Chain A
Amino acid sequence: DTGVSQNPRHKITKRGQNVTFRCDPISEHNRLYWYRQTLGQGPEFLTYFQNEAQLEKSRLLSDRFSAERPKGSFSTLEIQRTEQGDSAMYLCASSLASGYSTDTQYFGPGTRLTVL
Chain B
Amino acid sequence: AQSVTQPDIHITVSEGASLELRCNYSYGATPYLFWYVQSPGQGLQLLLKYFSGDTLVQGIKGFEAEFKRSQSSFNLRKPSVHWSDAAEYFCAVGAEYGNKLVFGAGTILRVKS
Contacts and interface: CB of A to CB of B under 8 A. Distances in A.
Nearest to B93: A102
| Size band of the interface chain B makes with A | 20 to 34
Interface stretch (B40-48, B57-65, B76-84): B40-48
B49 A104 contact: yes
Contacts of B103: 42-44
Interface in B5-41: 32, 34, 36, 41
B44 A91 contact: yes
Contacts of B94: 102
Interface residues of A, number: 30
Contacts of A22: none
Contact of A48 (B41, B92, B100): B100
A41 B94 CA distance: 18
Given A100-B97, A102-B32, A104-B49, A109 B102 contact: no
Interface in A1-26: 4, 6
Interface of A: 4, 6, 31, 33, 35, 40-45, 48, 55-56, 58, 91, 93, 97, 100-110, 112
